[in-house]
Amino acid sequence: MLKLYSYYRSSAAFCVRIALEIKGLDWESIPVNLRLGGQKQQRFQQNNPQGLIPLL
């Protein structure tokens, strides 16, 4: 299953959620709290060194 790292207020992540639904793909959401700096944690940055969401 696809994993989408996202934040509910992210417009970029919202676009990806729409595309996944249009394509009818199975996916799960993994929340990254941008306000608490979740995108800067090593656990997230080892998957995306840019430290940006969305990450699929």
Interface residues toward ligand GSH, by CB under 6 A: 10-12, 34, 39, 51-53
By residue count, the chain amounts to: 56
| The two three-digit tokens of residue 1, written as one number | 């299953």
Q: What is the CA radius of gyration of the chain?
A: 11
Q: What is the DSSP letter of 53?
A: S
Amino acid (1-letter code) at residue 56? L
We find the least distance from the C-beta atom of residue 45 to ligand GSH, in angstroms, to be 11
23/35 with CB nearer ligand GSH: 35
We find the least distance from the C-beta atom of residue 20 to ligand GSH, in angstroms, to be 14
We find the least distance from the C-beta atom of residue 52 to ligand GSH, in angstroms, to be 4
